[in-house]
């Protein structure tokens, strides 16, 4: 702007004194207009969403800063206050002066923000894609399937009825994985049902080494009546990233070795704002830093990318707790 103004004033035969007087005023006026509009936009457009007031104050800011430029033009050329035109002329041209000077800075800022946002969006998409791929791999890993098939094989000979129940729970789990593989977030009720199926497989495989208890389910009031369930789900609209509970339960099994005679108790508590999973620890359990492995780091990233929230972890000598914030949608559509 300084270079352009210097060339403009030079071609119009302005004196050096006029150039040194006019350029700083125009630049200061433009900066003032930028900061005023930024503050007004943040306060009334973004925070309060008072669009009409934002429009009025924005125009007023441009007129005020433009009037300073108009005065500079008149007084700098030797004219006096009495030479100023009518109020209507002043308002229109003051608005024009500021708008014209702000055009280039706004264009530069918009181009800069556009490419920054495009870069940020690409990073977010890549992270989300990576997070979803890791979740899918953990759900469909050959190791997971191999362990479950071995358990079924052992149950067929010893307890046929239990083998049938195990297969039904395993089928229900994979049906859920297939159903939600494209979903970023799912209903809390559905994720909790998946967690119960998933833990049934763990408990059948390891026996009393792990126990699972939902301490308080009143926050969602699960119902066997499909119609009641659907209507209640619409009113509550509590959601959670898909596979979140599976990740947390997996973390418990992974970081607590099976010790003869010692059970790892897992308590799941539901509040209006979060679902909290607390587990006891054995003497061989890893520290909080070690326990914050790939699974929980991946889940933490997914939370931040999807809903702008984060999980919290509390670690003591005897217990490990993960708090997963619930997502409440105001409009299901």
Domains of the chain: 2-119 (no CATH), 140-328 (3.30.565)
pLDDT class of 231 with cuts at 50, 70, 90: very low
Range of lowest pLDDT (3-12, 129-138, 228-237): 228-237
For residues 224 and 226, what is the distance between their CA atoms, to the nearest angstrom? 6
Q: Does residue 273 contact residue 325 with C-beta atoms inside 8 Å?
A: yes
For residues 74 and 80, what is the distance between their CA atoms, to the nearest angstrom? 7
Query: How far is CA 166 from each of CA 118, 170, 208, 246, 296, rounded to the nearest angstrom?
Result: 47, 6, 16, 17, 27
Q: What is the mean pLDDT of residues 123-131?
A: 71
Task: Please determine, for residue 229, whether its predicted confidence score (pLDDT) is greater than 60.
Answer: no
Q: What is the DSSP string of 67-133?
A: HHHHHHHHHHTT--GGG---HHHHHHHHHHHHHHHHHHHHHHHHHHHHHHHHHHHHHHHHHHHHHHH
Structure tokens belonging to residue 172: 């229900």
Q: What is the mean pLDDT of residues 236-261?
A: 83
Q: Does residue 180 contact residue 186 with C-beta atoms inside 8 Å?
A: yes
Q: Which residue, 209, 211, 213, 212, is CA-closest to 261?
A: 209
Q: Does residue 300 contact residue 288 with C-beta atoms inside 8 Å?
A: no
Range of lowest pLDDT (61-75, 134-148, 165-179): 134-148
Task: Please determine, for residue 251, whether its predicted confidence score (pLDDT) is greater than 70.
Answer: yes
Tokens 């369930």 locate to: 229
pLDDT, greater one: 48 or 219: 48
Range of lowest pLDDT (4-13, 122-131, 263-272): 122-131
pLDDT class of 164 with cuts at 50, 70, 90: very high
Task: Please determine, for residue 43, whether its predicted confidence score (pLDDT) is greater than 80.
Answer: yes
Question: Which of the given ranges, 7-16, 38-47, 70-79, 230-239, has the highest pLDDT on average?
Answer: 38-47
pLDDT class of 167 with cuts at 50, 70, 90: very high
pLDDT, greater one: 264 or 132: 264
> What confidence score (pLDDT) does residue 320 get?
92
pLDDT, greater one: 316 or 137: 316
Task: Please determine, for residue 284, whether its predicted confidence score (pLDDT) is greater than 80.
Answer: no
Mean pLDDT of the chain: 80
């Amino acid at each position: 702007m300084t270079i352009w103004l210097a060339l403009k004033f030079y071609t119009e035969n302005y004196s050096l004194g006029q150039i040194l007087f006019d350029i700083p005023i125009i630049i200061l006026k433009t900066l003032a207009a930028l900061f005023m509009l930024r503050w007004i936009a943040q306060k009334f457009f973004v925070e309060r969403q008072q669009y009409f007031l934002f429009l009025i104050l924005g125009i007023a800011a441009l007129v005020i800063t433009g009037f300073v430029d108009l005065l500079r033009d008149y007084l700098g050329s030797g004219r006096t206050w009495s030479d100023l035109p009518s109020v209507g002329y002043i308002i229109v041209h003051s608005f024009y002066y500021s708008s014209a000077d702000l055009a280039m800075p706004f264009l530069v800022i918009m181009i800069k923000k556009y490419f920054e946002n495009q870069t940020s969006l690409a990073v977010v998409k890549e992270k989300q894609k990576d997070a979803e791929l890791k979740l899918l791999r953990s759900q469909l890993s050959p190791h997971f399937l191999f362990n479950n098939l071995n358990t079924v094989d052992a149950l067929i000979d010893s307890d046929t009825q239990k083998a049938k129940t195990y297969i039904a729970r395993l089928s229900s789990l994979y049906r859920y994985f297939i159903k939600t593989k494209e979903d970023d977030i799912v209903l809390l009720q559905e994720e909790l049902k998946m967690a119960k199926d998933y833990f049934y497989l763990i408990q059948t495989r390891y026996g009393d080494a792990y126990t699972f208890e939902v301490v308080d389910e009143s926050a969602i009031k699960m119902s066997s009546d499909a119609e009641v369930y659907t209507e209640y789900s619409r009113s509550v609209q509590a959601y959670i990233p898909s596979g979140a509970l599976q990740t947390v339960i997996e973390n418990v099994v992974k970081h607590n070795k099976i010790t003869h005679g010692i059970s790892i108790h897992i308590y799941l508590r539901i509040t209006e704002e979060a679902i909290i999973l607390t587990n006891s620890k054995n003497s061989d359990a890893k520290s909080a830093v070690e326990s914050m492995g790939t699974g929980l780091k991946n889940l933490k990233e997914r939370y931040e990318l999807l809903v702008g929230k984060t999980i919290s972890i509390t670690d003591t000598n005897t217990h490990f707790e993960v708090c997963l914030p619930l997502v409440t949608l105001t409009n299901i559509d």
